[in-house]
């Protein structure tokens, strides 16, 4: 088996912070390592909520030893009532990556959707379906935050390792084929 990069994807949030760990190999094939959600109660003070998120994320770092961390980028234009909490949770995720000595990257929702489905405005179901297919899962990852975290991890693995059109068309894995199709669709827009 080719050596793989272990990627921790994080979909930041206060109420539900999605975490997904995947191994991505040079041939773009990927394996599920862990998927879950770190939660904090909306009735708790904000500092306690952030501490719960940090504790849950630290457990994932400790249990799965990722090589790199990818976090969904938050924009001020998004849903106002929760965006500040989401930004704070993303800050915690990025801090923990740095404190574990790991490289961290951020990807926008559009980048993630385009990488996974080939379409930057894909809906949640399209993303979940594609994530399940790439990782050969029997069921769609639930909840959506967990699926999003896996999508972020896959996006990062594929973007960082992307060979510049070097893959032989006849030797594509299913994941590579999906990726190539997605790229073609994206190019046509």
DSSP assignment string, 116-145: HHS-TT--HHHHHHHHHHHTT-SS--SSHH
Nearer Cβ to a copy of itself, position 73 or 133? 73
Our answer to whether residue 67 is catalytic in this structure is: no
**Beta-bridge mates of residue 84:** none
- Residue 145 assigned ligand-binding role: yes
Least distance CB 60 / a copy of itself (angstroms): 16
> Helix 144-160 vs helix 109-117: angle between axes, to the nearest 10 degrees?
80
Active-site option among 72, 123, 138, 148? 72
- The number of beta carbons lying within 10 Å of the beta carbon of residue 141 is 24
Active-site option among 11, 23, 99, 181? 11
Our answer to whether residue 111 is catalytic in this structure is: no
Residues at the interface with a copy of itself (CB under 8 A): 45-48, 50-51, 54, 69, 74-77, 80, 83-84, 87-92, 94-95, 97-99, 104, 106
Gap between the Cα atoms of 60 and 46, Å rounded? 21
Segments of 26-89 assigned E as strands: 30-39, 68-72
Edge-to-edge strand ranges of the sheet holding 104-107:
30-39, 16-25, 4-11, 68-72, 104-107
- Residue 72 assigned ligand-binding role: yes
Nearer Cβ to a copy of itself, position 90 or 117? 90
Nearer Cβ to a copy of itself, position 50 or 154? 50
Least distance CB 172 / a copy of itself (angstroms): 33
Least distance CB 97 / a copy of itself (angstroms): 5
- Residue 11 assigned ligand-binding role: yes
Backbone dihedral region for residue 5 (phi beyond 0: left; psi -120 to 50: alpha; all else: beta): beta
Active-site option among 23, 99, 145, 183? 145
Nearer Cβ to a copy of itself, position 103 or 143? 103
Our answer to whether residue 11 is catalytic in this structure is: yes
| SS3 state of residue 69 | strand
Quote the DSSP letter at residue 170.
G
Residue ranges of the annotated binding site for Mg(2+) are 11, 72, 145
Residues designated as active site:
11, 72, 145
């Amino acid at each position: 088996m080719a050596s793989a990069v272990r990627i921790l994807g994080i979909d930041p949030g206060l109420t539900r912070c999605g975490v997904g760990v995947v191994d991505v190999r040079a041939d773009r094939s990927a394996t599920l390592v862990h998927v879950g959600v770190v939660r904090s109660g909306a009735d708790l003070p904000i500092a306690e909520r952030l501490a719960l998120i940090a504790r849950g994320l630290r457990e994932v770092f400790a249990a799965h030893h990722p090589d790199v961390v990818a976090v969904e980028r938050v924009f001020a234009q998004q849903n106002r009532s929760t965006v500040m909490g989401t930004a704070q949770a993303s800050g915690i995720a990025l801090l923990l990556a740095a404190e574990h000595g790991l490289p961290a990257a951020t990807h926008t929702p559009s980048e993630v959707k385009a990488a996974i489905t080939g379409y930057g405005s894909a809906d949640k179901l399209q993303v979940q379906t594609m994530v399940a297919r790439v990782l050969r899962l029997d069921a769609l990852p639930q909840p959506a935050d967990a699926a999003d975290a896996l999508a972020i991890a896959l996006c990062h693995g594929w973007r960082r390792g992307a060979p510049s059109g070097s893959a032989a068309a006849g030797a594509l894995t299913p994941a590579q084929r999906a990726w190539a199709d997605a790229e073609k669709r994206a190019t046509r827009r």
